[in-house]
């Protein structure tokens, strides 16, 4: 009775499997795309051809074959394929995996691959628990992730895996896949499916399956029907996926390049993909401080006000202040001089001796006669132009220059002011002259 029930369940499950699942490649010859990794002579291709086992991480967008390739590797190496959930499995479950791997290796010499999907959710305790078994060679680990594994993995595990970056499937690979699934599809409908699926094989096959199932009997498949079935274009963006950081990077680089059109496009694409408007507003604040800087000092005020406006209005209206801020930042003059001064000061802190705070800058009253006039702090407001020459850096760093202003926007005036003061100071130092406020 159990066997009959199991057989009926298997048959029912097979019928309910999606087209994407039924068309999952079983061999390397059926696998589409990733030729930058799988072309003859490439390292990953060598692993497959030799039936080798190695600890690997596949990093890339969803629906491009990361899990499928892991299964093909296990098959070609005649290894057991054990799936481990980084989300639901506990550290204690690793013991079961290890014991099964030991029995398998002892009884028939068969090795074990542990496959971890959503590898970026692999917490530190799970990573540490696997380490000794990877080191001993009892287990081989293959992880699949849409997030940057260099951020997600601790150094000990990262040093034991080879990371391969997967790309979205190109048009050629997607067309070949659709040709296998739907050789008779009308060209214009096929192009619409390719456009909507945007390099995601799973989306492509699921879209075709749904479009075919909902097509009136005898009616041709049209681009309009495909669009109605899809409802909304599958944007190449995931809330926590690698594309998120690529698109944020594109937006910031467009702002830095003073291209308001490109910056607006990437901002809208992020919002349409589901990005939180608060996140974009925070990025604008950082950009205003780092890249606009002293060339337009009120840029950070505008960006900070945008944060408040976004929080106050909420979506969808929040996109309006975001659009204003985006255009303002893109069209503002740019200077990273303050940002670079910060890093130069940090570098000096790391590499130069840590001199004491000069006596005249310390937090106590210098009217004490024992200190002497030479150690007295000169109050700049007491001097012409509200400036007086005195040293503010510790011994060993005298004369160091960290801030190099640009000649754009507000900073042009700041640059002229600083240049005048430095010229006076340098001339006095060169000629041995005393400046206002120097003690006799």
- Cβ burial, residue 323 (10 Å; 0-12/13-18/19+): middle
Per residue of the chain (440 residues), give pLDDT as tens: 445 554 544 454 444 456 666 667 677 777 778 888 888 888 888 888 887 788 888 888 777 888 888 888 888 888 888 888 777 777 777 888 888 888 888 888 888 888 888 877 777 888 888 888 887 888 888 888 877 777 777 788 887 888 888 888 878 888 888 888 777 778 888 888 888 877 788 888 888 888 888 888 878 888 888 887 876 544 444 444 446 778 898 999 999 999 999 999 999 988 887 788 898 999 999 999 999 998 899 999 999 999 999 989 888 899 999 999 999 999 999 999 899 989 888 888 888 888 888 887 777 654 454 455 556 777 778 778 777 777 778 888 887 888 888 888 888 887 787 787 777 777 765 555 444 444 43
Say which CATH architecture domain 355-431 belongs to: Orthogonal Bundle (1.10)
CB proximity list for 401: less than 8 A, separation 6 or greater? none
Pairing mode of beta strands 162-165, 56-59: parallel
Fold of 171-230: Helicase, Ruva Protein; domain 3 (1.10.8)
Are 135 and 160 within 8 A, CB to CB?
yes
Q: Using one digit for the tens of pLDDT, what is the confidence trace for 352-384?
A: 888 888 887 777 654 454 455 556 777 778 778
Fold of 34-165: Rossmann fold (3.40.50)
Q: Using one digit for the tens of pLDDT, what is the confidence trace for 153-178?
A: 778 888 788 888 888 887 888 888 88
Q: Which of helix, strand or coil describes residue 273? A: coil
Strands (E), 89-138: 112-117
Are 69 and 102 within 8 A, CB to CB?
no
**Domain residue spans of the chain:** 34-165, 171-230, 242-331, 355-431
- Helix pair angle (201-213, 187-197), 10° resolution: 130
Is 242-331 assigned to CATH 1.10.8.80? Answer: no
- Same topology, domains 171-230 and 242-331? Answer is no
State phi, psi for 404 to the nearest 5 degrees.
-120, 95
């Amino acid at each position: 009775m159990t066997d009959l029930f199991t057989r009926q369940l298997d048959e029912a499950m097979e019928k309910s499997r999606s087209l994407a699942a039924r068309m999952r490649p079983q061999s390397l010859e059926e696998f589409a795309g990733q030729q930058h990794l799988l072309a003859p002579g490439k390292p990953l291709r060598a692993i497959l051809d030799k039936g080798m086992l190695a600890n690997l991480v596949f990093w890339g967008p969803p629906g491009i074959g990361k899990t499928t390739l892991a299964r093909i590797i296990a098959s070609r190496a005649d290894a057991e394929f054990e799936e481990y959930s980084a989300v639901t499995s506990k550290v204690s479950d690793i013991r079961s995996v290890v014991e099964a791997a030991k029995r398998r290796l002892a009884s028939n010499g068969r090795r074990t691959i542990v496959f971890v999907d959503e590898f970026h959710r692999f917490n530190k305790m799970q990573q540490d628990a696997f380490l000794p078994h990877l080191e001993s060679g009892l287990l081989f680990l293959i992880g699949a992730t849409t997030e940057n594994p260099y951020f997600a993995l601790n150094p000990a595990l990262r040093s034991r895996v080879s990371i391969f970056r997967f790309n979205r499937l190109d048009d050629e690979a997607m067309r070949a896949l659709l040709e296998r699934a739907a050789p008779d599809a009308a060209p214009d409908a096929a192009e619409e499916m390719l456009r909507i699926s945007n390099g995601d094989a799973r989306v492509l096959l699921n879209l075709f399956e749904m479009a075919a199932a909902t097509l009136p009997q005898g009616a041709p498949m049209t681009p309009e029907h495909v669009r109605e079935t899809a409802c909304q274009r599958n944007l190449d963006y995931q809330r926590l996926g690698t594309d998120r950081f690529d698109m944020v990077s594109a937006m910031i680089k467009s702002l830095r390049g003073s291209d308001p059109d490109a910056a607006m496009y990437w901002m809208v694409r992020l919002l349409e993909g589901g990005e939180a408007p608060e996140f974009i507003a925070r990025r604008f604040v950082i950009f205003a401080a780092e890249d606009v800087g002293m060339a337009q000092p009120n840029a950070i005020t505008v960006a900070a006000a945008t944060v408040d406006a976004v929080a106050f209005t909420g979506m969808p209206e929040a996109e309006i202040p975001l659009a204003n801020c985006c255009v303002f930042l893109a069209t503002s003059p740019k200077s990273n001089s303050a940002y670079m001064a910060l890093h130069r000061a940090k570098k000096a802190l790391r590499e130069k001796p840590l001199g004491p705070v000069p006596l005249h800058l310390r937090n106590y009253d210098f009217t004490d006669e024992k200190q002497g006039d030479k150690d007295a702090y000169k109050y700049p407001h007491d001097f012409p132009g509200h400036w007086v020459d005195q040293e503010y850096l510790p011994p060993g760093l005298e004369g160091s220059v960290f801030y190099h202003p640009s000649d754009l926007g507000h900073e042009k005036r700041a640059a002229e002011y600083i240049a005048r003061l430095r010229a006076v100071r340098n001339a006095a130092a060169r000629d041995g002259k005393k400046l206002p406020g120097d003690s006799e």
